[in-house]
Amino acid sequence: MSKPFYITTTLPYVNAELHMGHALEFIRADSVARYHELVGEEVFFNSGTDEHGSKIFKKAESEGKDVKTFVDENVEKFYESVKLFGVKNDIHFIRTSDERHIKAAQEFWSTVEKNGYIYLKNYQTKYCVGCESEKTDSELVDGKCPDHPNMELELIDEENYFFKYSAFTEKLKNFYEKNPNFVIPDFRFNEVRAFVERGLEDFSISRLKSKMPWGIEVPGNPEHVMYVWFDALVNYIANVGYPTDMKTFEKYWKNGTPTQYCGKDNTRFQASMWQAMLMAADLPNSHQIIVNGHITADGGVKMSKSLGNTVDPKDIAREYGVDALRFFLLKEVSSFEDSPFTLERFKDAYNAGLANGLGNLTSRILTMAQNNNISTVDSGGVSVFNYKNDFFDNFQIDKYMNSVWEKIQNLDKTIQEKEPFKLFKTDFKSAESIVFDLISDMYIIAKMLAPVMPETSKKLLELLNEGKKPEQPLFLRVE
């Protein structure tokens, strides 16, 4: 019997709208969750919202809003956006402002402190609010954070609690050695290992409440609130029961395969910091960390509102359909490398792969079946997920999508070469046999699309079972 499959996205901050990178992560994780359900596994799909920290507190202040009101409003927008991405209805959401998360974070802190990995000291540091992380001089470019050059660094000089990150250098190295597939892809794992090899430094995990009041109180010291990362990472175990429902926690985290998607700028937090925190709390480590590349503008330039080169995923989903967005992000975007998203590139891929590809093929086959009274009922009941798929198991969803479109192209080629639409006039039985085979292959394609383009999969299966050509094209050409 297979282990329960637990998959999670990272938790977006609620200080801004979800962008294309968020859409990519949600849609990929959703596709993986759907695939594991189709092969018969029990699945727990986790996500939620990261609601504490300086970034959110300052954003609420700038809008003249109470911070709780601000996050509540933005969480509603978050839910609406995720629905537009076609994510499964049974996804388990958690907010870091939820009482169950707060209880989990405080229990986790108390355990780590009891185990001797938290201490109090005075310190000075430079802090980037945009990254919500400390910065050493070696990480800065001309005294600025390279990821947020327009934001002034904060100089922090105060008493904080620290996590003994340095105690886990060797433990993490040993863990990585025993788990050679812990981070996918390999080149991201190499980056993590190199980071740990250089030696880990303890880091601050609290802020004075008098300076930054929006956070979870430190157990036993209400003058401090938790550093946002130390708080937020606990969501992964809080949403599966820790610490109140340990039966569920053991099912999905301890005895399951907890798998985490994240962006490349998040890798150290997920693959190193979080793993050290779990060790400090005597809890099992994650099973795997899957790292996405970034969505860029044309030429690899970073997407930025100030540069006017952003594309809103919600606009794409509303105008062209959710499965058109999913098609592009899953097929045309590399599973692990950075990839550009431009409207022109999207339209080209849409027309070639959907309008002229899948949509046109469906219409041609069903037109021949309808005009010649050929049954299109799935008499064989073909199943494509009665066995595991190597591409999905290795998170190479772009290769999976290419394998589907290779089948589509092969069917187009069969029609062009054998011309069954002409053959019906001279050799009906041979033409009928060709169309039967085409229909069988279309059922396979429709079912292969179930985890990646669920709406299209459902529509195709309905059309095939009815045996009628679509009244409207599945995908209209766009200019």
Cβ atoms of 122 and 159 within 8 Å: the answer is yes
Instruction: Confirm whether 294 is a catalytic residue.
Output: no
Give me the catalytic one of 65, 77, 131, 418. Answer: 131
DSSP per-residue letters across 362-398: HHHHHHHHHHTT-----TT---S-SS--HHHHTT-HH
Give me the catalytic one of 135, 145, 331, 447. Answer: 145
Give me the catalytic one of 114, 254, 302, 413. Answer: 302
Instruction: Confirm whether 469 is a catalytic residue.
Output: no
Query: What is the CB neighbour count within 10 angstroms for residue 70?
Result: 22
Instruction: Confirm whether 302 is a catalytic residue.
Output: yes
Give me the catalytic one of 22, 101, 251, 331. Answer: 22
Cβ atoms of 68 and 102 within 8 Å: the answer is no
Instruction: Confirm whether 128 is a catalytic residue.
Output: yes
Distance spanning both ends of the chain, measured CA to CA: 50
Where in 107-216 does DSSP place strands (E)? Answer: 118-128, 133-135, 154-163, 183-184, 203-204, 206-208
The DSSP 8-state label assigned to residue 307 in this structure reads: G
Strands 217-218 and 118-128: unpaired
Give me the catalytic one of 59, 128, 251, 314. Answer: 128
Instruction: Confirm whether 209 is a catalytic residue.
Output: no
Instruction: Confirm whether 262 is a catalytic residue.
Output: no
How far is it, in rounded angstroms, from Cα 237 to Cα 246?
10
Question: Residue 44 carries which side chain, given as an amino acid letter?
Answer: F
Instruction: Confirm whether 145 is a catalytic residue.
Output: yes
How far is it, in rounded angstroms, from Cα 229 to Cα 108?
13
How far is it, in rounded angstroms, from Cα 464 to Cα 452?
19
Backbone phi and psi for residue 277, each to the nearest 5 degrees, phi listed first: -60, -45
Instruction: Confirm whether 305 is a catalytic residue.
Output: yes
Give me the catalytic one of 305, 388, 413, 422. Answer: 305
Q: What's the token pair of residue 292? A: 């996405």
Q: Report the catalytic residues.
A: 19, 22, 128, 131, 145, 148, 302, 305
